[in-house]
Amino acid sequence: MARTSGVPVGADVRERLRAAQRAEAEAIAAVQKALVAEAAARARLNGVILRHQVELSKAAHAVHAAQATLVRTSGLERAAALLDVSSRVLRAAVNESALDSRVQATSNNTPAATPAPTIAPTET
């Protein structure tokens, strides 16, 4: 088999080269397809995690609010004894609950609608 300018001359060599290039292209396509599938799965996972984090956050806020209510009802030390937690934990829950209430109060406040100015009719 003679070579001229570095190009394979035999038909069988060129065919093996084309087959290797096709196999390589198919492997690259498979990698790309797998990367797309992985990205889609990761996006779905992130969505599930986000939904559960929101649920967990709501539950934590409910716990803080319930603990704060108990502290208002029974006092800090008594509530700590009833729940078998430190007063520091309950104090943090009360502060968190107060913060949640302030954030919720400010997020629910929308500016009042102002009436549109009226233009008095003019006499002509």
pLDDT digits (tens, 9 = 90+) for 40-74: 999 999 999 999 999 999 999 999 999 999 999 99
Per the structure block, which two tokens stand in for 34? 């797998």
Task: Output the pTM of the full model.
Answer: 0.55
Q: What angle do CA 107, 110, 114 make, to 5 degrees?
A: 170
pLDDT per position as a tens digit, 23-35:
999 999 999 999 9
The pLDDT value recorded for residue 19 is 96
**Ramachandran angles phi, psi of 121, nearest 5°:** -65, 145
The burial class, CB within 10 Å (0-12 / 13-18 / 19+), for 43 is: exposed
> Are 68 and 93 spatial neighbours (Cβ–Cβ below 8 Å)?
yes
